[in-house]
Structure 1
Amino acid sequence: MWLLNTASLALELVQNPDDCTYAVLSHTWERGEVTFQEIADLEQAREKPGFSKIKRTCELAQERGINYAWVDTCCIDKSSSAELTEAINSMFRWYKDSANSRGDKISLQLWLSEITGIDPEVLRNSDVLPTVSVARRMSWAAMRVTSRLEDRVYCLFGIFDVYLTLIYGEGLNAFIRLQEAIAQDNNDLSLLAWTSSRNEQEHRGVFARSPIEFKRCGSVQRIKDPAVKRTEFSMTNKGFHIRAALNRSEGDFLMSLQCVDSSIQQAEGADGIIAIRVIRTAHGYVRRGSDRLVIVSRSNLQLGNPVPVDIPKDISLAESRLIKIGLAHRFVFELENKSSFGCAITKWPYHLWDPDTNSFLTDGYENFTGLLKIDITGSKDNPRPKKSPISYRASSPIPSAQEGNVSDTETILNTRKDYGVRLGPILSQARHFSTYVVVFGLEAPEQTRTSGDIPEWKPLKPWAAIYGKAHQMLFSQLESEECRHGFPHGLNQIRDLLRVRSSGRVLPKTLSFNPTWHRRWRNDPFVDESQIQLSLSAGIMEHSLMGMFRLVLTVHTKN
């Protein structure tokens, strides 16, 4: 430990500081402080404004017969991260062990509570600190000002019982690291109850960027009801990972933080549960509308099945704009079945299908390609089965609707390992089964030149086509991919196979067929006189919150 000799004002390295008496200066930093390197040259150090407090400290120590003094500005070699970390982590203990106290938390609790916002109960007994919500503890530091941005974070180590390597120059990343450390050691979701000062960025990550974003959290408390199971979460290379029950709301989702704002009472007298808005993207979820929290009464909070939610730690303004563009390029799918036949649809890429908005998340990728496999089924004497209880036959648990599979209350459901869904009717005397494929995607329009020879870019264009078994090459490709991988990994090969962008031909938008019926007990097919027609349309939607593109498949009977 480096100490100042109060007689010579020279630094001395003391190996066992506990064996000697030294004075410690408690002060507020200002401009022109004397550093560790500068104190070695006293002539240079005397020119700085901060030298006067060092000199006066040593004089007072000499008057009391104390041979050493410690001043944080010049007794810490800040070029050594190890020494800096050790000093800051020990500083609280050094001040606490002071022999001459000007006051303590008990005698000054009213002033301290008024200035800092810290509960008097915590000032009287620091053992209760872990019972205070993370958000509320953060609010105590919301208005704190330090000369170094990182010090606003490092001064919080004690109240959260975390210790990190000090990295001066990392800026806002220091606060992100602190929140990561808290998340790894505490399952208090109030950590996410921050709000931005203004909604300058539509989409944000899961963590706040500064303690000031917790300034409205002075009344946040964790739910005390032991029946409410505390949710486990963790940090991964995708960011913040949690399995949470999401509630659909106004085009996005509400995620409960399992905490309440004690200053807000709902009309029925129940505490309002705090939730944040999140929206699904092609790569997970992001926070939306970070300038406000949502207060939901317990009676209005509908808890569904938990789903995996991954939210990045932070999102830049540029990334937020790209997310907005990607969400606008969603493909909304609609099925209009006007026939007496049942339709089962399997969707690929499965992980990009959002069942809550009935849309594909394209991420604005100009070569995006999607595929719908349509199984049309019906029975002759009872073409659309009556609404009756479903009997399930599955070799593995049936995924929830929130995970992307469709369950039809009029059909028998068989689930394969890849969770593609095939639906077949309850059979009567004769049945029909046929399969069709819709391939769709985006493409960039041709680049044009303006008068200034600057390329003018236009929005992406949607395209779509429908094919039957007659397109043998397409179905062979599908069957090959399905056998090897369980679903078509080769969507780009299928796109190239159809030569959508280069052929210049009109893509097929309609298909018609006469149902071929097979009796249940006799293998003697016969053709119905009625005709089934499938019509496909793809276009751009105006002023829609759900997405820019609309894909409609219509199935109807023509007699």
Structure 2
Amino acid sequence: MWLIKTDTMQLEYVLNSQGLRYAILSHTWGHEEVSFQQFADLNSARRMAGFAKIRRTCELAKEEFGLDYAWVDTCCIDKSSSAELSEAINSMFAWYRDATICITFLSDLPSSKSIELIPPGLEKCRWFRRGWTLQELLAPRRVEFYDQVWHPIGSKKSLERVLEGITGIPSHVLGGDSLDTILVGNRMKWAAMRETTRPEDTAYCLLGIFGIDMPLLYGEGHNAFIRLQEEICRQTNDMSLFAWTAEPGPGSQEHHETRGVFASHPLEFRRIPDMLLRDGMHSQEVAITSRLVKFNNIELLRPFQRKPPILPLGLVDKSNSEELGIFVVYTFDGYVRPFAEKLAEVPAIIPYEIPIHDVYLRKQYKVSLPLEVISESQNRLDLNLQPFHLVEIVDAAPSPSFDYAQTAYLVPNAIFVAALRLRVIGIDLVIVFLVDGRAFKFEISAKGYGALSDVDWSGPRTRLQELWARRKFRMDVADYLGHNVDWWIEGNTVVPVNGCNLSVSLKYVFIIGNGAIRRHLSAEFEEYVESGPSS
């Protein structure tokens, strides 16, 4: 860490600044700022406009606060060294937190002789709109504010209520409460209206606020904010990260925006309500893959038959105690978020149950098409299992291809093999499917296959395709799974299962439309009792 000696105005490198007392400057950059290299030549540096801030900071540090060192970001970071710049940005929050005093210079706040406690025009200062100055307000224990002629106007403590009104940051946080007690979404909201010169800095200026340390990649643009959200996911299971809302765009109400699970900018947190954790809500385990965010063993809610299911966030709106979630819809590449311009309110009664399962959401996705177009453009195998209140879906494989909310498989163009474990009227069944173009076969077994996830459903496809051409699909499935298939069912069949008869009525329909293939399999199950002779 480079520091300025306040008596000589010379830079000094300090290997370990722990316990060292120093002042730190917070400001907005202006014309002719003095760089690290330029500061080495004080005679030339003094002629630059930005030098006055450095000089006055050192004077205040020495004369008002009795400090031997000061730190100013313009001249205390060697920005020609990518390693030093990365270290400085990742350490910035800690440097402001550990400073004895933070001197905040508001270069656009005119000096006023007003006797009012609130300086006129304070809320209009550019300092409140810049991304980097957010952590410079939050991190230091003591902050003193100065107007454009370096007249003191108050401290963070004396202006606490005023600052709360300007920034939206609660006074108890400004007073020193740990940021870890504040939901991620609420912290993002503080940054929503702030700006940075470079798009990457939208994310980098927030690293310390979320306790994140990550490599800097200038040139990556807005992807930096995606990486920040990934790192937050790795460190916390705080679901408020997903409570953003897309900015409303032009167009009719029928053309809602469909997005991935990550926000594109902090601005998308500006309209979220103040949120609290729902009572009794347990931490949701979240994992990151290359393209997806995985929510382990989560229960999607389907309050309305003709609307997408809701992924509950375990949060309530502080103003009305409504439980919050986000709408999700299934695609080949994982769930996406329709109606991204709003949060979903979770009703108290959920009439349509969806089995608990792993949910994979796309990190990034953006289309402005009606939800019906997105759904109908995919090859599907829709399953209508009746009576729905007696048919329980226990397991599905391959899991990423099954839409639990719509009871449907998304079918790729190639050969597709899948299985579904059901519990019907207390009877366990496994349905094995093979789909190849227009051809479709399925088998039902009452013998246990073990966990469907233990079977490599991609493995037998080449061999199955070959045997399918020779009409030996049933033999191959039995061989692959290590079981004999109980029944080959077509049409209406009565099959004996576990000491009783189960009536299975099947109907298969093949439809081509909108460039996609829709297959509909209807299966009705009922316990079948043969009528005996009348007595």
Q: Using structure 2 for the length normalisation, give the TM-score.
A: 0.63
Is residue 145 of structure 1 aligned with residue 145 of structure 2? Answer: no
- Alignment partner, residue 538 of structure 1: 510
Question: How far has the Cα of 1:440 moved from its partner?
Answer: 3.8
Question: How far has the Cα of 1:549 moved from its partner?
Answer: 1.9
Residues 486, 494 of structure 1: alpha-carbon distance in 2 compared, 3 angstrom cutoff: same
Q: Deviations over 1:9-36 (max 9, x none)?
A: 5433355768987654332123543222
Amino acid at match of 1:28: T
Is residue 369 of structure 1 aligned with residue 384 of structure 2? Answer: no
Question: How far has the Cα of 1:218 moved from its partner?
Answer: 4.1
Between the two proteins, the alignment pairs up a number of residues equal to: 421
Provide the secondary structure at the position in 2 that maps to 1:126.
coil
Instruction: Provide the rounded CA distance (Å) in 2 between the counterparts of 1:193 and 1:262.
Output: 14
Question: How far has the Cα of 1:187 moved from its partner?
Answer: 3.2
- Alignment partner, residue 360 of structure 1: 409
Question: How far has the Cα of 1:309 moved from its partner?
Answer: 1.3
Give the root-mean-square deviation of aligned CA atoms.
4.8
- Alignment partner, residue 427 of structure 2: 413
Matches within 5 A, 1:200-239: 202-223=257-278, 225-226=279-280, 228-236=281-289, 238-239=292-293
Provide the secondary structure at the position in 2 that maps to 1:217.
coil
- Alignment partner, residue 11 of structure 2: 11
For residue 136 of structure 1, the aligned residue among 168, 179, 186 is 186
Question: How far has the Cα of 1:109 moved from its partner?
Answer: 1.2
Matches within 5 A, 1:62-101: 69-78=70-79, 79=81, 80=84, 81-94=86-99, 95=102, 96=140
Question: How far has the Cα of 1:275 moved from its partner?
Answer: 1.0
Provide the secondary structure at the position in 1 that maps to 2:301.
strand
Is residue 549 of structure 1 aligned with residue 518 of structure 2? Answer: yes
- Alignment partner, residue 431 of structure 1: none
Confirm or deny: 8 A CA contact 2:189 2:267 kept in the other structure. yes
Confirm or deny: 8 A CA contact 1:261 1:273 kept in the other structure. yes
Amino acid at match of 1:222: L
Residues 254, 31 of structure 1: alpha-carbon distance in 2 compared, 3 angstrom cutoff: farther
Give unmatched runs, 5+ long, in structure 1: 266-270, 338-345, 374-403, 423-437, 443-462, 469-481, 501-510, 519-531
- Alignment partner, residue 330 of structure 1: 379
Matches within 5 A, 1:179-258: 179-198=229-248, 202-223=257-278, 225-226=279-280, 228-236=281-289, 238-248=292-302, 249=304, 250-258=306-314
Amino acid at match of 2:238: D
- Alignment partner, residue 174 of structure 2: 123
Instruction: Provide the rounded CA distance (Å) in 2 between the counterparts of 1:304 and 1:534.
Output: 23
Instruction: Provide the rounded CA distance (Å) in 2 between the counterparts of 1:83 and 1:486.
Output: 48
Question: How far has the Cα of 1:332 moved from its partner?
Answer: 3.7
- Alignment partner, residue 216 of structure 2: 167
Question: How far has the Cα of 1:114 moved from its partner?
Answer: 0.7
- Alignment partner, residue 36 of structure 1: 36
Confirm or deny: 8 A CA contact 2:381 2:519 kept in the other structure. yes
Amino acid at match of 2:427: L
Question: How far has the Cα of 1:68 moved from its partner?
Answer: 5.2
Q: Deviations over 1:332-376 (max 9, x none)?
A: 446799xxxxxxxx99867634354343202xx43x224689xxx
Instruction: Provide the rounded CA distance (Å) in 1 between the counterparts of 2:215 and 2:456.
Output: 49
Instruction: Provide the rounded CA distance (Å) in 1 between the counterparts of 2:144 and 2:505.
Output: 92
Instruction: Provide the rounded CA distance (Å) in 1 between the counterparts of 2:19 and 2:509.
Output: 85
Confirm or deny: 8 A CA contact 1:327 1:361 kept in the other structure. no
Confirm or deny: 8 A CA contact 1:252 1:280 kept in the other structure. no
- Alignment partner, residue 108 of structure 1: 159
Q: Deviations over 1:278-334 (max 9, x none)?
A: 12233432222221111123245877542111224x21549999x976862222446
Q: Deviations over 1:160-197 (max 9, x none)?
A: 4x131351514434433433343344333222111111
Confirm or deny: 8 A CA contact 1:139 1:218 kept in the other structure. no
Instruction: Provide the rounded CA distance (Å) in 2 between the counterparts of 1:407 and 1:300.
Output: 21
For residue 464 of structure 1, the aligned residue among 439, 448, 462 is 439
Matches within 5 A, 1:225-304: 225-226=279-280, 228-236=281-289, 238-248=292-302, 249=304, 250-263=306-319, 265=320, 271-300=321-350
Is residue 490 of structure 1 aligned with residue 460 of structure 2? Answer: yes
Q: Deviations over 1:48-73 (max 9, x none)?
A: 54344335545666877977543111
Residues 187, 516 of structure 1: alpha-carbon distance in 2 compared, 3 angstrom cutoff: closer
Confirm or deny: 8 A CA contact 2:293 2:360 kept in the other structure. yes
Residues 304, 3 of structure 1: alpha-carbon distance in 2 compared, 3 angstrom cutoff: same
Instruction: Provide the rounded CA distance (Å) in 2 between the counterparts of 1:513 and 1:307.
Output: 31
Q: Deviations over 1:220-274 (max 9, x none)?
A: 2222x23x444333445543433211122435320111111123x4xxxxx2110
Provide the secondary structure at the position in 2 that maps to 1:106.
coil
Confirm or deny: 8 A CA contact 1:272 1:295 kept in the other structure. yes
Q: Which moved more, 1:187-196 or 1:353-362?
A: 353-362
Question: How far has the Cα of 1:538 moved from its partner?
Answer: 2.1
In our comparison, the structure showing a higher alpha carbon Rg is 1
Instruction: Provide the rounded CA distance (Å) in 1 between the counterparts of 2:494 and 2:24.
Output: 94
Residues 36, 324 of structure 1: alpha-carbon distance in 2 compared, 3 angstrom cutoff: farther
Instruction: Provide the rounded CA distance (Å) in 2 between the counterparts of 1:45 and 1:310.
Output: 55
Amino acid at match of 1:253: P
Amino acid at match of 2:76: C
Question: How far has the Cα of 1:112 moved from its partner?
Answer: 0.5
Q: Which moved more, 1:193-202 or 1:53-62?
A: 53-62
Q: Deviations over 1:61-103 (max 9, x none)?
A: 6877977543111111232123443344212321347697754
Provide the secondary structure at the position in 1 that maps to 2:360.
strand
Instruction: Provide the rounded CA distance (Å) in 1 between the counterparts of 2:8 and 2:495.
Output: 106
Question: How far has the Cα of 1:535 moved from its partner?
Answer: 8.0
Q: Deviations over 1:97-135 (max 9, x none)?
A: 7697754333111210111101223334515x5443322
Amino acid at match of 1:72: D
Give unmatched runs, 5+ long, in structure 2: 103-139, 146-151, 251-255, 387-394, 444-451, 471-488, 497-503, 525-535
- Alignment partner, residue 364 of structure 2: 315
Amino acid at match of 1:232: E
Q: Using structure 1 for the length normalisation, give the TM-score.
A: 0.61
Instruction: Provide the rounded CA distance (Å) in 2 between the counterparts of 1:517 and 1:138.
Output: 58
Matches within 5 A, 1:18-57: 24-30=24-30, 32-41=32-41, 45=45, 49-57=49-57
Provide the secondary structure at the position in 2 that maps to 1:239.
strand
- Alignment partner, residue 2 of structure 1: 2
Matches within 5 A, 1:339-488: 352-354=401-403, 356-362=405-411, 365-366=412-413, 368-370=414-416, 404-409=420-425, 413-415=427-429, 420-421=430-431, 440-442=435-437, 463-464=438-439
